[in-house]
């Protein structure tokens, strides 16, 4: 063993220690150690183990990522806002944060650029559907009038080494409009540090045994799914390989009750890390109130009347095909001839199957001569609780499902789900429950309670299914959102009227005073049913506000916002992030800072429960002609600014403009010119091409409150460049090699000889290219040898061909880069250098150095695509109009080995054009708007001297782009023919 310790217990080239395990198969040492086949001797197997990080270290690393990305996003997108819990950003919102050719490219670009905002690496974020095998997006906010959706929710999960992180989701909301702006990002992800999946010693039997110790009645176990447990909701934990599984009791309809639990257990020790009760019940609680009974409640409270059973199944027997009725219960069965037939109908349909646990579910039949009619009336006698319960459950389940699909016809799972089970009359009392993705279940009467298969109890239990298929956790949120289903359908706040045989009161009420608390959930309590009243109260109060301002449409507005908010939610908590969700869904211009169509109603409804909306500024700023990205060189530029009331009233004459030339230094303050009350001209100064101008504006309210736009100025500012146009000169998406070359001193991980499609090893390399074309340049894009394909033992250099920039005015180099150096034996020790040459590679100037750490000026060392742009004129002693421009990208791993990966995509060279195109020559060389004798003198002087650009434009009658003798005839003609 001493020899083993000396010669084999050594770090691999990436600095990760090797642990040796004896097996009877042959000598197998992973990664870059040799493989020796010794079929008949004792063998060795090597496994990599990363040192376990402390929770404090994980949080510190995540905090650095957050601050860097947050600062960058605030600069990139003025107006962005954040919601934080436990010092973690969980929501980014407020303005457009990314754009793309479609929703997915826009969302992916946000992930690649700003993943660090949430304390994680972009490479750990992987597209994931909310439903098994389904699409990785959910359309939201359906508009029936246009048959279109307002938003696309792009869905992701966090992974490491191909293993999902438990309850670690990421969702990006994109507006379906040109540019596809990202307007909200929601995270429940956790920092992973250098954690790597290690399976040696994993034992699923220990996990099962731990679950059995929880309850001896748990006898049925699901398959074990590998997950990484790194915490729950906003609370982080040291990452651990774990098993996710469910355990349940044998008989779901036993009078002793049904048990089903979700467990997450440590894969090595079996210790239970997380437990969730998956029998989601309707507990008995509440208070007696002296209010009048509404026409909603249990069967003991209300009369019954015939109602159509939606989508019921009927068939001709024997041998006839099944057909399904419409939403009103009407059906037509294709049949040849007029021979009498027997038609059957049970309490089941296209979407639901009812199973009566008290008796066999009755099937009605009738003999009829085509064309009939064949009419059925289930529960015609209405003397049997069990039959009535089955009809009630079937009808109300269809009602709530139809309501969900009215507001989102593409709702995950539910839109296409058939034969969902409903179990009625289970042999116990005073409850109902949802078994996730499996069934909704209702109890018979007794014990002081009515049969629970009625009205909003059915709506509530199916509401749990809406929450589950929407990708959210249950807990208090599931209970509250289940209640919201009943509130939306019945349009009244009392829930479960008659549940406890009291037809004058229910078991909960959405008309409540529950207030959000950062600890203990709500002022009504922390138990999930009582805490759930917090969200139902918000929805009910918002409904009340909308009923005043939108009396004809309030039910559709609150219904659509509520249903479409569910897929945005992660975890089980009810927090003011839900207020932000409602506002973002309601918004119509990708800018929450100027309110939304129903901001006041939502803010009032949620605010009455201490779930406040983001505070709006007193004033808003409108730009009737837009804000420029380019302004004419050497010419003042006027921006129209209109200051409007929002929560305050603007004070006329207080508008100011703040500007600076370049990206640093103090701002110059000038008054805007008011030409009508609160309508201004903001004049940017004449600026040489191609200078950057940064600016913001401000005004005061009548209460002397100063408001800026952007609201966070001067941290956030608007910008424009002094140039007549931007011309693209070079654009490479790297679907082919444009002639770039690779050189290297590295022993491994060199740049590939040609661009490729990322293999996505999830080991520091990008999961996909940047621009969506498919290919990009990568360092050793290979999945061989367990994806050990990173740069090792030196530097690898990717160099472009020569570019002739001599005809350009002010060239700009642009590219997307990816770099990761933060794992391995020496994390954050190497750099990624970008260099340029103006003499064909004879000498090189530094364009940027990425890294080595997250504390560096360019701290993007944990993966993610970043689009960078540089003006070559900003480089000292560099000839930006050279005929021999080259660029190179150098990735290296020197000293102690670490995992280094780099990639380049979307390379371009643009030119800021500084010349202003001329219009038709006028002869007005002195600029006084008329052609006269004074222009003769100006023309002669300019012709013999050095004319200004404006004089050339005015006198260039032969369109030679110069003032010369060929222009004399045109000038004389213009002079003699003037009006």
Last residue of a domain, one of 262, 278, 294: 278
Phi, psi (deg, nearest 5) at residue 878: -120, 130
pLDDT of residue 10: 37
pLDDT of residue 59: 86
Q: Predicted confidence band at 273 (pLDDT cuts at 50, 70, 90)? A: confident
Length of the chain: 979
Whether residue 145 lies inside any domain: the answer is: yes
* 734 contacts 907 by C-beta, under 8 angstroms: yes
Q: What is the mean pLDDT of residues 241-254?
A: 81
Q: Report pLDDT digits (tens) over 22-41.
A: 222 332 223 222 322 323 22
Rounded Cα gap, residues 619 and 700, in angstroms: 8
Judge whether residue 505 has pLDDT over 70: yes
pTM of the model: 0.73
In-domain check, residue 492? yes
pLDDT at 961: 77
**Mean pLDDT, residues 579-594 taken together:** 94
Higher pLDDT, 483 or 299: 483
pLDDT tens-place string over residues 845-889 = 999 999 998 888 888 888 888 888 898 988 988 999 999 999 999
Which pLDDT belongs to residue 255?
Answer: 59
Q: In this structure, are residues 479 and 524 in contact, taking their beta carbons and an 8 Å threshold? A: no
CATH number, domain of 683, equals 2.60.40.730
- pLDDT score at 277: 78
Question: For residues 763 and 786, what is the distance between their CA atoms, to the nearest angstrom?
Answer: 10
Q: Minimal CA–CA distance to 508: which of 529, 538, 522?
A: 529
Q: Do 531 and 406 fall into the same domain?
A: yes
- Choose one of 187, 215, 238: the last residue of a domain: 187
Could you tell me if 662 and 647 lie in one domain? yes
Do 481 and 445 sit in the same domain of this protein?
yes
Q: What is the mean pLDDT of residues 35-48?
A: 30
Examine residue 553 and state whether it is found in any structural domain, yes or no: yes
What's the mean pLDDT in 710-717? 90
Question: Would you state the structure tokens that stand for residue 256, as one six-digit string?
Answer: 């002793």
Lowest mean pLDDT of 62-76, 346-360, 505-519, 554-568, name the range.
Answer: 62-76
Whether residue 51 has pLDDT greater than 60: no
- pLDDT (tens digit per residue) in 746-768: 998 899 988 988 887 778 888 88
Asked whether residue 866 is assigned to any structural domain, the reply reads yes
8 Å CB contact between 43 and 27: yes
Is it the case that residue 253 has pLDDT exceeding 70? no
Looking at residue 65, its pLDDT comes to 84
Q: What is the mean pLDDT of the chain?
A: 86
With a cut of 60, say whether residue 49 has pLDDT above it.
no
What is the total count of domains within the chain?
7
Is residue 35 within 8 A of residue 29, CB to CB? The reply is yes
Q: Are residues 706 and 597 in the same domain?
A: no
What span, in angstroms and rounded, lies between the C-alpha atoms of 552 and 547? 8
What is the rounded CA–CA span in Å between residue 589 and residue 591?
Answer: 5
Summarize the confidence of residues 98-118 as an average pLDDT.
90
Cβ contact 505:499 at 8 Å: no
Same domain, 679 and 595: no
Does 2 score more than 70 pLDDT?
no
The answer on 745 and 677 residing in a single domain is no
pLDDT at residue 280 in the model: 57
CA neighbor of 545 nearest in space, from 601, 466, 486, 609:
601
- 471 shares its domain with 551: yes
761 lies in some domain? yes
pLDDT in tens, 344-359: 888 888 899 999 999 8
Domain coverage including residue 955: 933-976
State percent of the chain over pLDDT 70.
91
Residue range 326-352: average pLDDT?
A: 82
Domain end: 668, 689, 722, which one? 722
82 and 182 in a common domain: yes
Average pLDDT over residues 422-439: 92
Same domain, yes or no: 100 and 36 = no
CATH at 69? 3.30.310
399 in the same domain as 435 = yes
**What CA–CA distance (Å, rounded) separates 200 from 196?**
12
Name which of 105-114, 292-301, 790-799 the model is least confident about.
Answer: 292-301
Query: Is residue 353 situated within a structural domain?
Result: no
In this prediction, residue 5 has a pLDDT band, given cuts at 50, 70 and 90, of: very low
Rounded-to-integer distance, Cα 354 and Cα 317, Å: 20
Strand, coil or helix: 742: strand
Q: 591-599, long-range: CB within 8 Å, 24+ apart, which pairs?
A: 591/79, 591/94, 591/95, 591/96, 592/81, 592/93, 592/94, 592/95, 593/79, 593/81, 593/94, 593/95, 593/617, 593/620, 593/711, 594/620, 594/646, 595/620, 595/646, 598/546, 598/549, 598/550, 598/557
Higher-confidence position of 927 and 622: 622
CATH of the domain at 255: 3.10.450
| Least confident among 341-350, 658-667, 905-914 | 341-350
Confidence of residue 405 (pLDDT cuts 50, 70, 90): very high
**Largest separation between any pair of C-alpha atoms in the chain:** 111
Radius of gyration of the CA atoms of the chain, in A = 35
What does the H/E/C string look like for 369-422?
Answer: CCCCCCCCCCCCCCCCHHHHHHHHHHHHHHHHHHHHHHHCCCCCCHHHCCCEEE
The H-or-E segment that residue 313 falls in is strand 312-317
Calculate mean pLDDT across residues 7-14: 37
Tokens of 815: 């590219």
In a shared domain, residues 583 and 682: no
Residue 296 forms part of a structural domain: no
Whether 535 shows a pLDDT value over 80: the answer reads yes
Dig out the tokens for 503 from the structure.
């037809």
Which of 74-88, 121-135, 668-682, 683-697 shows the highest mean pLDDT? Answer: 668-682
Q: Return the minimum-mean-pLDDT range out of 159-168, 207-216, 303-312, 315-324.
A: 315-324
Look at residue 674 and tell me if it is in a domain.
yes
Residue 643 shares a structural domain with residue 787: no
Q: What percent of the chain has pLDDT over 90?
A: 50
Asked if pLDDT for residue 18 goes beyond 60, the answer is no
Give mean pLDDT, residues 762-787.
Answer: 84
pLDDT reported for residue 431 = 92
Between 47 and 190, the more confident residue is: 190
């Amino acid at each position: 063993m001493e020899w083993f310790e000396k010669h084999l217990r050594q770090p691999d080239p990436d600095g990760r220690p090797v642990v040796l395990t004896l097996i009877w198969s042959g000598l197998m040492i992973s990664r870059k150690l040799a493989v020796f086949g010794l079929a008949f001797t004792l063998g060795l197997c090597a496994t990599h183990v990363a040192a376990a990080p402390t929770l404090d270290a994980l949080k510190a690393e995540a905090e650095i990522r957050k601050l860097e990305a947050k600062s960058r996003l605030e600069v990139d997108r003025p107006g962005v806002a954040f919601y934080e819990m436990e010092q973690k950003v969980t929501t980014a919102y407020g303005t457009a944060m990314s754009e793309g050719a479609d929703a997915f490219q826009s969302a992916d670009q946000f992930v690649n650029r700003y993943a660090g905002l949430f304390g994680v690496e972009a490479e750990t974020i992987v597209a994931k559907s909310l439903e098994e095998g389904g699409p990785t997006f959910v359309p939201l906010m359906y508009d029936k009038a246009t048959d279109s959706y307002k938003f696309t929710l792009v869905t992701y999960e966090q992974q490491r080494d191909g293993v999902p992180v438990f309850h670690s989701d990421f969702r990006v909301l994109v507006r379906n409009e040109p540019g596809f702006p990202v307007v909200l990002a929601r995270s429940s992800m956790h920092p992973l540090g250098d954690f790597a999946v290690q399976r040696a010693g994993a034992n699923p039997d220990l996990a099962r045994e731990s679950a059995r110790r929880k309850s001896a009645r748990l006898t049925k176990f699901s398959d074990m799914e590998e997950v990484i447990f790194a915490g729950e909701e906003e609370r982080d934990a040291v990452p651990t390989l774990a098993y996710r599984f469910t355990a349940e009791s044998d008989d779901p309809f036993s009078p002793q009750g049904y048990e089903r639990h979700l467990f997450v257990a440590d894969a090595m020790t079996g210790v239970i890390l997380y437990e969730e009760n998956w029998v989601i019940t309707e507990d008995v609680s509440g208070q007696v109130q002296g209010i009048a009974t509404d026409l909603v409640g249990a069967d003991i409270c209300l009369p019954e009347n015939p109602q159509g059973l939606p989508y019921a199944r009927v068939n001709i027997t024997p041998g006839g095909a099944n057909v399904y009725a419409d939403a009103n219960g009407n059906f037509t069965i294709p049949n040849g001839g007029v021979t009498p037939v027997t038609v059957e109908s049970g309490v089941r349909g296209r979407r639901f199957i009812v199973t009566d646990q008290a008796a066999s579910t009755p099937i009605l039949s009738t003999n009829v001569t085509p064309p009939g009619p064949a009419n059925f009336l289930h529960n015609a006698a209405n003397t049997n609780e069990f039959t009535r319960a089955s009809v009630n459950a079937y009808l109300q389940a269809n009602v709530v499902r139809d309501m969900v699909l009215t507001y989102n016809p593409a709702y995950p799972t539910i839109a296409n789900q058939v034969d969902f089970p409903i179990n009625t009359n289970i042999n116990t009392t005073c409850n109902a429950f949802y078994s996730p993705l499996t069934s909704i279940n209702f109890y018979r009467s007794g014990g002081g309670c009515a049969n629970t298969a009625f009205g909003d109890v059915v709506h509530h239990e199916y509401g749990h299914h809406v929450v589950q298929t929407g990708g959210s956790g249950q807990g208090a949120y599931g209970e509250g959102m289940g209640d919201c289903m009943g509130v939306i359908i019945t349009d009244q706040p009392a829930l479960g009227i008659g549940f406890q045989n009291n037809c004058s009161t229910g078991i909960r009420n959405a008309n409540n005073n529950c207030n959000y608390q950062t600890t203990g959930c709500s002022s009504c309590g922390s138990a999930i049913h009582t805490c759930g009243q917090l969200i139902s109260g918000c929805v009910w109060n918002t409904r009340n506000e909308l009923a005043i301002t939108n009396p004809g449409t309030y039910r559709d507005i609150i219904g659509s916002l509520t249903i479409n908010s569910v897929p945005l939610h992660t975890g089980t908590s009810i927090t003011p992030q839900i207020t932000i969700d409602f506002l973002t869904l309601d918004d119509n211009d990708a800018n929450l800072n100027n309110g939304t169509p129903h901001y006041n109603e939502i803010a009032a409804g949620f605010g009455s429960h201490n779930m406040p909306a983001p505070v709006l500024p007193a004033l808003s700023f409108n730009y009737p002609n837009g804000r420029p990205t380019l302004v004419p060189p050497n010419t003042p530029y006027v921006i129209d600014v209109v200051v409007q009331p929002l929560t305050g009233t603007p004070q006329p004459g207080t508008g100011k403009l703040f500007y600076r030339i370049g990206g640093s230094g103090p701002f110059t303050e000038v008054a805007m010119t008011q030409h009508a009350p609160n309508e201004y001209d903001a004049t940017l100064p004449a600026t040489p091409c191609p200078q950057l101008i940064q600016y913001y504006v401000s005004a005061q309210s009548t209460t002397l409150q100063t408001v800026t736009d952007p609201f966070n100025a001067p941290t956030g500012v608007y910008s424009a460049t002094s140039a007549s146009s931007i011309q693209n000169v070079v654009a490479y998406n790297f679907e082919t090699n444009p002639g770039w070359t690779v050189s290297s001193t590295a022993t491994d991980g060199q740049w590939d000889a040609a661009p490729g499609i990322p293999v996505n090893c999830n080991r520091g390399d990008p999961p996909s290219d940047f621009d969506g074309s498919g290919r990009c340049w990568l360092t050793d894009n290979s999945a061989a040898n367990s994806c050990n394909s990173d740069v090792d033992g030196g530097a690898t250099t990717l160099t472009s061909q020569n570019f002739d920039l001599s005809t350009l005015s002010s060239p700009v180099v642009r590219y997307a880069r990816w770099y990761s150096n933060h794992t391995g034996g020496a994390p954050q020790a190497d750099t990624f250098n970008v260099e340029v040459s103006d003499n064909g590679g004879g000498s090189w100037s530094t364009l940027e150095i990425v890294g080595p750490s997250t504390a560096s000026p360019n701290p993007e060392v944990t993966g993610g695509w970043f689009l960078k742009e540089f003006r070559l004129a900003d480089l000292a002693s560099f000839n930006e109009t050279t005929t021999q421009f080259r660029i190179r990208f150098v990735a290296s791993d020197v000293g102690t080995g670490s995992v280094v990966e780099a990639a380049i995509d979307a390379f371009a060279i643009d030119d800021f054009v500084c010349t202003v195109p001329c219009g038709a020559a006028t002869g007005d060389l002195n600029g006084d708007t008329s052609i006269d004798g004074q222009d003769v003198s100006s023309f002669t002087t300019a012709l013999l001297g050095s004319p200004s650009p404006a004089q050339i434009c005015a006198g260039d009658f032969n369109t030679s782009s110069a003032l010369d003798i060929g222009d004399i005839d045109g000038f004389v003609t213009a002079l003699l023919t003037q009006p």
